[in-house]
Amino acid sequence: MRVIALTKRILQQLIHDKRTLGLLIFAPILVLTMLHLVFNGDDYVPKVGMVEIPEAIVEQIDMTEAEVTTYNDESEAEKALVAGAVDGYIVLNGGSPAVFLEGSDPTVNSATISWIHSTFGEMQQGGNADYLEVDYLHGSSDMGSFDYFGPVLLGFFVFFFVFIIAGVSFIRERTTGTLERLLSTPIRKWEIVMGYVFGFGIFTIIQSTIIAWYAIYVLGMMMVGSFVHVLLITLLLALTALTLGILISSFANNELQMIQFIPIVVIPQIFFSGLFNLETISDWLSWVGPFTPLYYAADALRDVMVRGHGWHEIYINLIILLGFSLVFMLLNGLALRKYRKI
């Protein structure tokens, strides 16, 4: 009887906790739907440039499996490659194609090379489709998946752990009465928000620095650009996660409810961070990416660590991350209204 009574109490508790009940059902459905849309998306179509390829050859090429652009000279094709307009371009050297790849994404490299093999195989020396002269703008043939996905994982782990620590810590401030005592003083709401941001921010600076240093200099993650830029990106991402975690904690009554927000707030960002090629994701889902902080942080980290870009290539992403943080700070101030009536 005691077991039955305890069971009834747990069930009643869950039924009355509408938020927990909803997340138990809605969160798995949301994640499964995203997985369905990601893995059932279209195959990647490589974007290939052709430089001074005879028209007779171009007319024989199957254009259905690649987006082909013709260029009058190699300098024009190289500019398109640097700008990301093409994944690679082809130049015929003595009848055999020489290929120049952008090189930062091994999956895109593989798709591009595969299409070129199938298209120009008969033209290559001795009909050997394995022979191909390949040069890379970024990376090399030795570049592994960890080198490409590493910057995304670095950004994700910084974002995830800062989000959790900030949210749970802020809830603890409320449940222990610290926030209530602060609100009973003349201190302003924006001062409370900034105080928590600076307080947790010192910790996130240390955490982000250690994680970035360990990933690059201990694990050997690919690093072409400046470590200072990587550190700046991770710090802004951590600030975004910090302010978002504090904001989300305003809608949770305890640590368990804070954890329940992870499938709604954090996990969906993985799909738009660069772990999956956004060009292959269903159109029903791909538009969400630009509304997530990790989308910009991962792009900036990959630009620095894989492509060796500097400030001029990443500053827009940094401004957007800072914009996310400022918006979340403003919303945090508004969220404190329910704890103090003005």
- Using the predicted structure, report yes or no on whether residue 82 has a pLDDT greater than 90: no
What's the CA gap between 261 and 24, in Å, rounded?
A: 11
Separation between Cα atoms, residue 227 and residue 210, nearest integer Å: 12
Mean pLDDT of the chain: 79
Give the other-Cβ count within 10 Å of 279's Cβ: 13
Span 248-303, pLDDT tens digits: 888 877 777 788 888 888 888 888 887 777 777 766 777 788 889 999 999 999 99
C-alpha to C-alpha distance for 56 and 62, rounded to whole angstroms: 13
Strands 67-71 and 47-51: parallel
DSSP 102: -
This model's pTM is above 0.85: no
Give me the pLDDT at residue 24, please: 67
List alpha helices for the chain, DSSP H: 2-16, 18-39, 55-60, 74-83, 106-120, 145-175, 178-183, 189-213, 227-249, 255-260, 262-265, 267-270, 283-286, 293-305, 311-335
Q: Is the pLDDT of residue 115 over 80?
A: yes
User: Mean per-residue pLDDT for 204-226?
Assistant: 85
Q: Percentage of the chain with pLDDT > 70?
A: 80
Q: Reading across the β-sheet that carries 88-93, which strands appear in turn? A: 67-71, 47-51, 88-93, 96-101, 133-136
